[in-house]
Amino acid sequence: MAPSKKKHASSQPRIIPGGFTELSLRFSSDSVSEHKLYLKEHKVRAEKSSHRPLDRTLFVLNMPPYCSEGVVKEMFSQFGCVRSVELRDHPGSSKESGPKLSRFFKPADKQGFKVGYIVFQNPSSVSAAKSHPHDAPLVVCTEQRQVRTGAQKWIQQYTESFSHPEKLQQIVDSFMEGYDKRKEEEADRQKEEAEQQQEDEEGWVKVTRGPKGTKGRPHSEAANKRTLQKEMRKKKRKELLNFYTWQHRNTQKEHIADLRKKFEEDKQRIALLRAQRQFRPY
């Protein structure tokens, strides 16, 4: 007997508005309730990071909190080799490049539903995941992959929160070594820039070629300060003094008042010298 059309249609992937494919998820094989994931191929033109290739990255919504990156990687490995998995609170650009921090130097992750970026080895794996029938749910917890929830999960997280003092000391020492190394490199770079931008006896500044597409010019704070002072002096020389008649008249009055004041001071100084003179020929 041929299968009914309704049963045949249910084995096909379900497409919802927005281009997302619906994928069912069960916590265990004996679970009755199902959780829905919504996935589609990651296609963002502004994405320039090599960590998310546009033809091999799968964008997943509504990822439950009990699914860690390791669990997601194992679940989606049935569609092909998974290179990396990234879970985030909100969609956005990839993680910032920089030194990898330990969990002791990072805030605790938020507990809740997340979005995921799954990068496969081959582009065909993305198509295989999208074409997976929605009535064949993925299983999270199996005999080979045990996932803890509820009180067991909190007990495990509480136990893992304690670290051995020697291991913690190694993590701190490694972090401080990297920090000191970055500070030394920054100090050497600033010292080299200061030496290159130092003026010689005649006031010339050696300007080196900068990165491609940029002009070679001094970038230090001292050089910028000297340039600003030169501009201020140049601007002051170009200012029009005594442009109006009343300005010229006030300037003359101030000059005459200064001369009279200086004349009175000179008269007093001369009178004082005469009074202090001891030799009087008359």
144 and 185 housed in the same domain? no
Domain identity same for 191 and 114: no
Judge whether residue 200 has pLDDT over 60: no
Q: Which of 7-21, 94-108, 113-127 has the highest mean pLDDT?
A: 113-127
Residues 27 and 156 in one domain: yes
Is 156 contained in some domain? yes
Measured between alpha carbons, how far is 34 from 40 in angstroms, rounded to an integer?
Answer: 19
Instruction: Tell me the pLDDT tens digit for each residue of 213-231.
Output: 555 555 556 677 888 888 8
Question: CB under 8 Å to 114, separation ≥6 — which residues?
Answer: 63, 65, 87, 88, 89
Confirm whether pTM is higher than 0.75.
Answer: no
CB 63 within 8 A of CB 37: yes
pLDDT above 90 covers a percentage of the chain that reads: 19
Q: Is residue 67 part of a domain?
A: yes
The boundaries of the domain holding residue 152 are: 7-160
Number of domains in the chain: 2
| 9-50 tens-digit pLDDT | 456 778 888 788 898 888 888 888 888 999 998 887 666 666
Q: Count of residues for the chain?
A: 282
Task: State pLDDT tens for residues 143-177.
Answer: 888 888 778 877 877 887 777 888 888 888 888 89
Burial classification of residue 165, based on how many CB atoms lie within 10 Å of its CB (0-12 exposed, 13-18 middle, 19 or more buried): exposed
CB 225 within 8 A of CB 218: no
Indicate the burial class of 171 (C-beta count within 10 angstroms; 0-12, 13-18, 19 or more).
middle
Residues 68 and 144 grouped into a single domain:
yes
Query: Is pLDDT above 90 for 184?
Result: yes
34 lies in the same domain as 88: yes
Does residue 255 lie within any of the structural domains?
no
Residue 71: CB partners within 8 Å, gap ≥ 6? 140, 145, 147
CATH code (residue 78): 3.30.70.330
20 and 148 part of one domain:
yes
DSSP state of 199: B
Please state, in angstroms and rounded to a whole number, the distance separating the CA atoms of residues 115 and 62.
6
Quote the CA–CA distance of 35 and 62 in Å, as a whole number. 9
In this structure, the answer to whether residues 134 and 193 fall within a common structural domain is no
Cα distances (angstroms) measured from residue 86 to each of 57, 66, 116, 270: 11, 15, 6, 91
Confidence at 8, pLDDT banded by 50, 70, 90: very low
Report the chain's mean pLDDT, rounded to a whole number: 79
Start-to-end Cα distance in the chain: 153
Q: Report the C-alpha gap between 120 and 150 in whole angstroms.
A: 31
Residue 185 to residues 41, 43, 148, 190, 212: CA-CA distances in angstroms?
A: 41, 38, 45, 9, 22
Q: How confident is the model at residue 96 (pLDDT cuts 50, 70, 90)?
A: low
What's the confidence (pLDDT) of residue 79?
A: 92
Percent of all residues in the chain with a pLDDT value above 70, rounded to a whole number = 74
Residues 71 and 186 in one domain: no
Residue 91: HSE in the Cβ half-sphere, 13 Å Cα cutoff: 11
Query: Is 198 a residue whose pLDDT tops 70?
Result: no
Flag whether 153 is in a domain.
yes
Answer yes or no: do 22 and 136 share one domain.
Answer: yes
